Amino acid sequence: MTTTDYAVAPGEYLEEWIEDQALSQQQVADLLGSSRKQVNEIVNGRAPITSETAMRLERVVGIPAKTWLKYEALYRADLARIADEQELASHADSIAPAAASYLRTIGVTEATKKAPGRLVSDFLSFHRCGTWEAYEHLHESALRGDYALAALKESGSKLDPTMLSVWLRAAETDEAYERGTGLDYSPEKLRAALPDLRTRAAAPDSTMLRDLAGMLEDVGVVLMSVEPPKNFPLLGMTRWIDKRVPVIQQTGRWGKDGFVIWTLFHEIGHVLGDPRGEMHLEYSTEKKRNSDAEKAANEFARQTLFGPSGLSPFRGLTRDAEIAAAAKQVGVAPGVAVHQMHRRRMLGYQFGNRLCVDLAGTFNA
């Protein structure tokens, strides 16, 4: 719906009629049975058209009373909206340019900083907040006490809160998230499903992510991909719906299978190992993953994927055939082994890359 930055008083329609009829305001006042001052104030938008005046105008001008009242209601609503947007405009600089661009990309707004009040209004509507203060309270409440705040402080991240909140809110409008509101999460069922999840992840292909999402949904866990704003520093996160249903939310920039699979089991570690309702952020740079919770999630992924022996079966291996054979023996995808060997400096980055499977773009396949 197109909005304007001005309000049209219903008196302007009356003024046009007066001019067309070549009448004076006093003559119209006499016809209406009112004072000239009242007519003048209506014409100039200072006095409202009441129900009584609307009925008189219907008899004199010929425009139905309900139409006059509609004009009046629209005028007052536009005045209130314009005043509201003028007040909201002071918060426009708090919205990161990438967040504003993201909202335009997904069709939430057409506004730019040239219409700051409208941009902020659309931003708040997207978050279902009536005021900027309500938005700030909601955003702070969502993170207060959770690992996310500590992670942001600890990492020195430049992650803008508005970039994070638009990405989180975009997920909430997704069908997968909506289905998640009706799921019944069971940590026992999730633990029982780990062997099957591990087996499916050992054979990465174009349907693997869809299959894993379905298997996780069966035990009450949402796995979803949501395209983020530009220059978004996160690759994914774990969050909860009403502290009941865990959501593993990724950016969709999956890359190679080793990273995808490792990250998934890392996030499952957060779901199973951390207090219910906590939010965990997965940064795109290794140096920002440094906390007890992250170390525990990494250890969970390592134990689940590689077992008690860890990466010892791969020590000293450099040839693709050797790594593939060891991965088959362990029961993991070769790309996962290569990913961990690279990270742990057991294998030069020039080796093993042909064993990795590109899963980019396959999440919704």
Contact in structure between 28 and 41 (CB atoms under 8 Å): no
| Same domain flag for 141 and 171 | no
| Same domain flag for 178 and 266 | yes
| Same domain flag for 283 and 265 | yes
| HSE-up of residue 49 (Cα within 13 Å, Cβ side) | 30
The model carries a pTM of: 0.77
Q: Which two tokens stand for residue 55?
A: 């009925």
| Same domain flag for 96 and 190 | no
Q: How many domains does the chain contain in total?
A: 3
Place of tokens 């425009």: 63
Contact in structure between 273 and 297 (CB atoms under 8 Å): yes
| Same domain flag for 123 and 65 | no
Domain annotation covers residue 220: yes
**Does an H or E element contain 76, and which?**
helix 65-88
How many other CB atoms sit within 10 Å of the CB of residue 269? Answer: 23
Which DSSP string corresponds to 279-320? -EEEESSGGG--SHHHHHHHHHHHHHHH-TTTTGGGTT--SH
d(CA 121, CA 127): 10
How many other CB atoms sit within 10 Å of the CB of residue 205? Answer: 13
Contact in structure between 297 and 157 (CB atoms under 8 Å): no
Q: What are 26-68's pLDDT values in tens digits?
A: 999 999 999 999 999 999 999 999 999 999 999 999 999 999 9
Domain annotation covers residue 362: no
| Same domain flag for 266 and 122 | no
Domain annotation covers residue 363: no
Cβ-in-10-Å burial (0-12, 13-18, 19+) of 43 comes to: buried
Contact in structure between 193 and 218 (CB atoms under 8 Å): yes
Q: Which residues contact 246 (CB under 8 A, 6 or more apart)?
A: 185, 220, 221, 222, 238, 239, 240, 271
| Same domain flag for 200 and 305 | yes
Minimal CA–CA distance to 180: which of 213, 228, 209? 213
Pairing of strands 245-250, 222-225: parallel
| Whole-number pLDDT of residue 147 | 40
The one-digit pLDDT tens for each residue of the chain (365 residues) are 456 678 899 999 999 999 999 999 999 999 999 999 999 999 999 999 999 999 999 999 999 999 999 999 999 999 998 898 899 999 999 999 999 999 999 999 999 999 999 999 999 999 999 999 999 988 876 655 444 444 444 445 567 889 999 999 999 999 999 999 999 999 999 999 999 999 999 999 999 999 999 999 999 999 998 999 998 888 788 889 998 999 999 887 768 999 999 999 999 999 998 777 666 666 555 444 447 788 899 999 999 999 999 999 999 999 999 999 999 999 999 999 999 999 999 999 999 999 999 987 776 65
| Same domain flag for 122 and 259 | no
Which DSSP string corresponds to 148-174? HHHHHHHHT----HHHHHHHHHHHHTS
CATH of the domain at 42: 1.10.260.40
| Chain-centre distance for alpha carbon 289 | 22
| HSE-up of residue 343 (Cα within 13 Å, Cβ side) | 16
Sign of the CA dihedral 279, 284, 290, 295?
positive
Residue at 132: amino acid letter: W
| HSE-up of residue 227 (Cα within 13 Å, Cβ side) | 10
d(CA 252, CA 224): 8
| Same domain flag for 238 and 332 | yes
Domain that includes residue 297, residue range: 167-355
Cβ-in-10-Å burial (0-12, 13-18, 19+) of 77 comes to: exposed
Pairing of strands 222-225, 234-241: unpaired
Q: Which two tokens stand for residue 345?
A: 């400096």
